Amino acid sequence: MGCAAQCVGAGSCSRRFFLVMFRTCLPAVVCLLGGMTVQANTPVPAAGDAARGKAVYAQCLGCHSPDRHRTGPKHCGLIGRKSGTASGYEYSKAMQQANVVWSAQTLDHFLFAPLSFIPGTKMGVAGIKNAKSRRDLIAYLIVINEQPGCD
């Protein structure tokens, strides 16, 4: 039931019943104000900056390339792909069995601490601890994901 519904009937209150009306309406007003406060304080996840993410991706280029397998698998087509399933790349058992589908959220967990998120992965990097850098990087991975010519 919405906030306003709590005040239904208040309009029919006469002055004699002002106190009753006040009692009836007060929770509705508090509810509305509360609702507004919650709305204002709810953090909206800011989209990452892909241009900055490209610079962060320099750390990945030692092993990865957007469009071909190297030490690590290609990143083209990553978003929505199940972990360990790009054809033609030999993954660790851990990555194949992880049962993770790559999304902004799972990438955020993985890139924070690859070895904790997927114990036994052969991606032996410490991870990116800065949340903003990860967000920017993921924005860039989404750009790579959508680039034309990706199978």
Q: Which residues bind ligand HEC (CB under 6 A)?
A: 59-60, 62-64, 71-73, 78, 81, 83-84, 86, 91-92, 94-95, 102, 111, 121-125, 128, 137
| Closest to ligand HEC by CB, 7 or 60 | 60
- Sequence length of the chain is 151
| Closest to ligand HEC by CB, 24 or 92 | 92
| Closest to ligand HEC by CB, 91 or 142 | 91
Phi, psi of 82 (to 5 degrees): -75, 145
CA nearest neighbour of 50 among 149, 150, 148, 147: 147
* Least Å from the CB of residue 86 to ligand HEC: 5
| Closest to ligand HEC by CB, 111 or 142 | 111
Q: Answer for the pair 150, 77: CB distance below 8 angstroms, yes or no.
A: yes
* Least Å from the CB of residue 35 to ligand HEC: 39
- In the structure encoding, which two tokens stand for residue 95, read together? 């990555």
* Least Å from the CB of residue 107 to ligand HEC: 6
Give the chain's radius of gyration (CA, Å): 25
* Least Å from the CB of residue 138 to ligand HEC: 8
* Least Å from the CB of residue 136 to ligand HEC: 11
| Closest to ligand HEC by CB, 21 or 75 | 75
